[in-house]
Structure 1
Amino acid sequence: MKKFICIISAAVACIACESRTYEEISDNTPIAQVVTYNKDVKAIIDANCVSCHSPGPQALTNYSQVKGNINSIIDRISRANGDPQKMPQGGSLSPAQINIITKWKTDGLPEN
């Protein structure tokens, strides 16, 4: 009987200890509505980019600057962890945040 309980316990422990990556458990739901800078993108940029990209030639403090650099922004935020060119430095946006910024470009970069 002890052997049976140990086997069942071990089986339950193996099933319960499933390992999943952050990308697998993060919200990667497709975005149905139109993404706009003021409603969706600005808060992500302000929280993750402005501390380093303000002021100066690489500033990302307003709509025009972010819109003008969108291809570079998407390239840098989409790079693999460990890539020295990945942004934000020392961290990463969530897949949901990257999807918002990418969808904004797909939607034509609307401001409002």
Structure 2
Amino acid sequence: MNPLLFNRKTFPFLGLMILTPLAKGKDEETANKAVSYYKDIRPIFQANCQGCHQPSKAKGKYIMTEFDKLIAGGDSGDPAIVPTDLEKSYIIDLITPENGEAEMPQKADPLHVTEIDLIKKWISEGAKDDTPEGAKQR
């Protein structure tokens, strides 16, 4: 058998065997890492929600640009986010699609399932505000 031919055929297989455990370890590390409001959740809300839910344009009387108001909710009277309690967190009902449609964001595609899962994980972990002091609104 030609050793050069053997190497060409086995190299991709060996590379896959070496890299697969490394990738799996990275996925497990990410899955076990705490969700950051500032780094993970806030960007989702900025991109998909805050255009309509900000002080100058508070649809549903809900402001999502200030953490305390984000948690409190709007004119529904229900708290939008109840730390550690997905069932009582009204925002989950609004962003979770049924039959491919979600109430929020309106007139836009629903959030991606990975974004919804990240928001759920953050709420389950206690919905902590880890915004650095220098980045908080005054």
TM superposition score normalised by structure 1: 0.64
C-alpha distance in 1, partners of 2:90/2:123?
Answer: 12
The answer to whether structure 1 residue 65 and structure 2 residue 69 are counterparts is: yes
Q: Secondary structure, in 3 states, of the residue corresponding to 2:31?
A: coil
Code of the aligned partner of 2:50: V
Which stretches of structure 1, 4 residues or longer, exceed 3 Å deviation after superposition?
A: none
Which residue of the partner structure matches residue 88 of structure 1? 105
How many residues end up aligned between the 2 structures? 82
Which residue of the partner structure matches residue 9 of structure 2? none
TM superposition score normalised by structure 2: 0.53
C-alpha distance in 1, partners of 2:122/2:111?
Answer: 15
How far does the alpha carbon of each residue in 1:43-87 deviate from its partner, in whole angstroms, 9 at most, with x for none?
A: 00010001111223211112222223221211111131235xx11
Unaligned ranges ≥5, structure 1: 1-28
Q: Secondary structure, in 3 states, of the residue corresponding to 2:53?
A: coil
C-alpha spacing 1:92/1:65, structure 2 compared with 1 (3 Å):
same
Q: Secondary structure, in 3 states, of the residue corresponding to 2:52?
A: coil
Which residue of the partner structure matches residue 25 of structure 1? none
Preserved CA contact (<8 Å) 1:31 1:100: no
Structure of higher RCO (CA pairs closer than 8 Å, 6+ residues apart): 1
Sequence identity percentage? 32
CA RMSD of aligned residues (A): 1.9
C-alpha distance in 1, partners of 2:36/2:124?
Answer: 11
Unaligned ranges ≥5, structure 2: 1-27, 73-79, 82-88, 131-138
Which residue of the partner structure matches residue 53 of structure 2? 53
